[in-house]
Amino acid sequence: MIRPPLLSDNPADLLDHLELRALRDADGNASAAELLTELSMGGSSDARDEEDTTETLSEAMSAIADAVFTQAEDRSVHCGKDGYPFGIDGNVLLKEDSDFSRVYTFLLLLSAHGKDAVAGSDGAKLFEDVSAVAAASYLGSRDALREPLVFGFPRRVEVANFPAAVANLCIYIGEGKSDDKMPNINKMKDAGLDIVFNKPFPDKKSSQLIAFGQCATGENWWDKKYELQPGDWCREWMLKPLK
């Protein structure tokens, strides 16, 4: 189920709603007219003053539609020709990802359905994989990307045991030493660390760029933005923290 849109929603959220409709509806499109019809239905006039005239409301609705499709144009430009899974024909979104294979489509569904975004798969773990590749692409070389490390639990590729996983992490970044005697270390899963990427500098000296990341697909993701502190994490779980 997709929550009905409200007049108080911002244009970005309203565009998300239209995109989900275009993906879901049999005709593969969603229009400004359909959005305005939904906004006009009972229970969606939360942002309007009771004294607003019909003319004022009509102007407001037109402004909302314009803002939503301006947002769509911006997304299309920033995602590139093959990144945005929708065509824009006037005030109509047209689905161009019939097999649901584009990263944007996955992230859109993830924002609406969380870990259940992909039937038969753990959307949260897929999001970790996408985030790891995104980090490597952003920080690494386009010609020869260094493989990122997905540390989040449950680990599908790396070792499941936390002490062994920390030891493997130290090998991956070439620094640090795991603390096998830390109390309760064997009960830990990932201690809030999901992805790691490191990149040596061209001068080949010991300094390097190391990025730690935490991925969250739940509605409380905003509260987690300061939860992972790389320095504190390393001091907590390593005998020899990073230099």
Single pTM value for the model: 0.80
**How much is the pLDDT for 182?**
74
Q: Provide the residue type at 15 as one letter.
A: L
Residue 4 backbone dihedrals phi, psi, to 5 degrees = -60, 145
pLDDT beyond 60 at 95: yes
Which H or E run includes 102? none
Question: Which is it for the CA torsion 136, 141, 142, 146, positive or negative?
Answer: negative
In the numeric block, the tokens 């990307």 are attached to 145
pLDDT beyond 90 at 42: no
Which string of DSSP letters, residue by residue, matches 176-190? --B-TTSTTGGG-S-
The token duo for 147 is: 């493989």
The 10s digit of each residue's pLDDT in 136-186 is 888 876 555 678 899 999 887 767 789 889 999 998 888 888 887 777 777
Phi-psi region of 235 (alpha: psi -120 to 50; beta: other; left: phi over 0): alpha
Tell me which of 11 and 61 has the higher pLDDT. Answer: 11
Three-point CA angle 168, 226, 133, nearest 5°? 50
In the numeric block, the tokens 């540390």 are attached to 151
pLDDT beyond 50 at 90: yes
Q: Which of 14-23, 67-76, 106-115, 149-158 has the lowest mean pLDDT?
A: 149-158
Three-point CA angle 93, 121, 171, nearest 5°? 110
Tell me which of 182 and 16 has the higher pLDDT. Answer: 16
**How much is the pLDDT for 139?**
84
pLDDT beyond 60 at 47: no
DSSP 26: T
Tell me which of 145 and 205 has the higher pLDDT. Answer: 205
In the numeric block, the tokens 């905003």 are attached to 222
Question: pLDDT band for position 117 (50/70/90)?
Answer: confident
pLDDT beyond 70 at 213: yes
The Cα-based distances of 83 to 13, 94, 117 in angstroms read: 19, 14, 19
Question: pLDDT band for position 44 (50/70/90)?
Answer: very low
Q: Provide the residue type at 163 as one letter.
A: P
142: number of Cβ within 10 Å = 6
pLDDT beyond 70 at 54: no
